[in-house]
């Protein structure tokens, strides 16, 4: 994304506040925090999941486990997929409340792939969804349980979440696609 045509929607502090609010909402909704597992969609969703876990720990003194999920082999837009794709999840998720964490919710196809991967790792009690940005334009019927920011966009716009771990800075940018 060219920095020249990108507009800043959120800075690092705004992102932190959104993640803090999501953390409190997770705590309020899930009384037994020892039963939840955060599953972050690689790459930036995994970073956000780790941050949420840290915030929950600082608030409640319970640190939920965090797993990183690679959805690439579960995508429905791949021409050929392996018979038993690997998700990267290392634990049995049976009977746990799984909170899938992603940076941007758009069409819903990544979330569909994430749910498929989670189901191969056990039968969770429930699956919830947390996203930093919900930009609309859904192709599949998913709605997040926890949303940092609703950001109505046009189909010709692109939303990018920046995290220090990968981008050297924090923020959310929106730009026109070329």
- Dist. CA 140–CA 83, nearest whole Å: 24
Sign of CA dihedral 42, 144, 164, 170: positive
Q: Name the residue among 123, 134, 116 with its Cα closest to residue 22.
A: 134
Cα 147-75-149 angle, rounded to 5 deg: 10
Domains of the chain, residue spans: 7-176
- Dist. CA 96–CA 76, nearest whole Å: 26
> What is the pLDDT at residue 81?
61
> What is the pLDDT at residue 3?
53
> What is the pLDDT at residue 89?
86
pLDDT digits (tens, 9 = 90+) for 22-61: 999 999 999 999 999 999 999 999 999 999 999 999 999 9
Q: Which CATH number fits domain 7-176: 3.40.50.300, 3.40.50.2020, 1.10.10.10, 3.30.413.10?
A: 3.40.50.2020
Q: Which residues of the chain have pLDDT under 50?
A: 2
- Dist. CA 23–CA 122, nearest whole Å: 24
> What is the pLDDT at residue 91?
85
- Dist. CA 9–CA 175, nearest whole Å: 10
């Amino acid at each position: 994304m060219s920095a020249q045509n990108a507009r800043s929607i959120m800075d690092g502090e705004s992102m932190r506040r959104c993640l803090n609010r999501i953390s409190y909402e997770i705590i309020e909704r899930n009384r037994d925090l020892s039963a939840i597992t955060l599953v972050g969609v690689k790459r930036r969703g995994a970073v956000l999941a780790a941050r949420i876990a840290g915030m929950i720990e600082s608030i409640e003194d319970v640190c939920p486990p965090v797993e990183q999920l690679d959805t690439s082999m579960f995508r429905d837009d791949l021409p050929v997929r392996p018979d038993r794709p690997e998700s990267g999840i290392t634990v049995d998720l049976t009977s746990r409340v799984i909170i899938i964490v992603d940076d941007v919710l758009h069409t819903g196809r990544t979330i569909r792939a994430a749910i498929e991967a989670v189901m191969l790792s056990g039968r969770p009690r429930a699956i919830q969804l947390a996203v930093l940005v919900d930009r609309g334009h859904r192709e599949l019927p998913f709605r997040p349980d926890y949303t940092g920011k609703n950001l109505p966009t046009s189909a010709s716009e692109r939303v990018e979440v920046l995290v220090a771990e990968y981008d050297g800075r924090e923020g959310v940018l929106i730009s026109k696609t070329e």
